[in-house]
Amino acid sequence: MEFDQAYFDAGISRVGTDCEKWDGMIEETGDQDMIPMWVADMDFPSPPAIRQAMEGVLSWGTWGYTISGEKDAEALCAYWARRHGVQFEPGEVLMSPCVVTGMRVALRALTEEGDGVLINPPVYGPFFQSIKVNNRRVVESPLVRGEDGRFCMNLPEMEEKLASGEAKAFMMCSPHNPVGRCWSEEELAAVVNLCAKYDVPLICDEIHADFVFAPNRHVGILSIPGAAERTVMLCAASKTFNVAGLQQSSIVCKNPAMLEAVRSEMEAAGVRSGNAFALAATRAAYTDCDAWLDGLKAYLADNRDFAVKYIAENMPRVRVTPLDATYLMWLDCSALGMAQGELMEKIAAAHVKVTGGTFFGSQGEGFIRLNIGCPRAQLERALAQLAAVLG
């Protein structure tokens, strides 16, 4: 099968599949005509090899307790070595239901109640909640925007927060949702050096690693010298292959004591992973889906270029953040002079659903996040409707 433009143009109808993006939106708004450009999953079919793997499990006809472990971890290790040049071993991997689960158990294992945890807002909302529900404190070092519109970490400020003891751990998003940054090797090395200097653990969420567009490339944190002894890396096939509903992710840590601490936290909470469908699908994703992923990335890069051009021509007051990575566009609408509530109301009245910027922290005021992981025709319709209110 060719995973070309025609394949991705065809998309897939998701209404009636209990999906949050479409069915959840219709339930919430009652608006059957609204175009969902919000939740971070895609409106494409998952790869055929994943479907076949799940059909194989379906054909068993009985689904008792399942073996999980070695072969799942081996598929993950081989994938990261092949796609990202990052080496780790099956013994350095724990299986977990979701990336957010991994984030929370890592926070519990590696920090104490009351500790400050450094993050770089605007950032994926559950970073804040994961810290707060575990009685840790959010310590913010906001990203700063350069002349070219790209966001960077404020390393001197981050150092202050670590040096003063205000923050006892750093939780980073790489590539970064929602600002679409792929961090460079130099930036990642600076982060690792800071964490080493102040001897704090680094929790690195790499769920978007597969969506880095040329000429950039994803640099895995575990390939940075000095990262191995203090890092917990979180990853999943869920975003990449659109299988988030299966709830399967991985926790990777090369420091045996840290890995053990995370493992015992999972044990204490009874967090287990072993869904037969999810494991089979994830192994197939990591083994047999490279051609599908390459086709997808080419399609998404074209979607990005189309959207950038369309917005420049039709919504000149909306500033697009350059998108190195992810299928999530971070759009600055502040020049329109609307409060966040008004901005979201206008967009809803245009029958488009986007994620409001403040989901990512107060720094997101005046911004929206637009999910471009959909067939071009859907993107075109959503952009035309947005242009009617943001143009």
* Residues binding ligand PLP (CB under 6 A): 40, 98-100, 124, 173, 177, 205, 207, 236, 238, 244, 249
CA 350 to chain centre: 27
Q: How far is the CB of 257 from ligand PLP (least distance, A)?
A: 25
Distance CA 254, CA 154 (A): 27
Residues 6+ apart with CB under 8 A from 380: 306, 310
Q: Which is nearer to ligand PLP, 179 or 227 (CB)?
A: 179
Distance CA 81, CA 162 (A): 32
Q: Which is nearer to ligand PLP, 310 or 359 (CB)?
A: 359
Q: Give the 3-state secondary structure of residue 142.
A: coil
- Which residue of the chain is nearest ligand PLP when measured via CB? 98
Q: How far is the CB of 293 from ligand PLP (least distance, A)?
A: 17
Q: Which is nearer to ligand PLP, 239 or 389 (CB)?
A: 239
Q: How far is the CB of 391 from ligand PLP (least distance, A)?
A: 28
Q: Which is nearer to ligand PLP, 245 or 256 (CB)?
A: 245
Q: How far is CA 322 from CA 7, 119, 147, in A?
A: 27, 21, 11
Q: Which is nearer to ligand PLP, 140 or 389 (CB)?
A: 140
**Six-digit token pair at 210?**
């597969």
Q: How far is the CB of 98 from ligand PLP (least distance, A)?
A: 3
Please report which helix (H) or strand (E) contains residue 158, including its range: helix 155-163
Q: Which is nearer to ligand PLP, 58 or 269 (CB)?
A: 269
Q: How far is the CB of 97 from ligand PLP (least distance, A)?
A: 8
Direct distance between the N- and C-terminal alpha carbons of the chain, in angstroms, rounded to an integer: 40
Q: Give the 3-state secondary structure of residue 235.
A: strand
386 phi/psi in degrees, rounded to 5: -70, -40
Q: How far is the CB of 177 from ligand PLP (least distance, A)?
A: 4
**b/e code 369-384 from CB counts within 10 Å (16+ = b):** bbbbbbbbebbebbbe
Please report which helix (H) or strand (E) contains residue 367, including its range: strand 367-371
Contact 204, 221 (CB under 8 A): yes
Distance CA 136, CA 275 (A): 31
Residues 6+ apart with CB under 8 A from 7: 1, 295
Whether the upstream peptide bond of residue 156 has omega within 30° of 0, thus cis, is no
Q: Which is nearer to ligand PLP, 100 or 251 (CB)?
A: 100
**Six-digit token pair at 208?**
């978007």
Q: Which is nearer to ligand PLP, 235 or 343 (CB)?
A: 235
CA angle, 77 then 79 then 84, to 5°? 100
Q: How far is the CB of 124 from ligand PLP (least distance, A)?
A: 4
Q: How far is the CB of 160 from ligand PLP (least distance, A)?
A: 25
Q: How far is the CB of 337 from ligand PLP (least distance, A)?
A: 29
Q: Which is nearer to ligand PLP, 123 or 350 (CB)?
A: 123
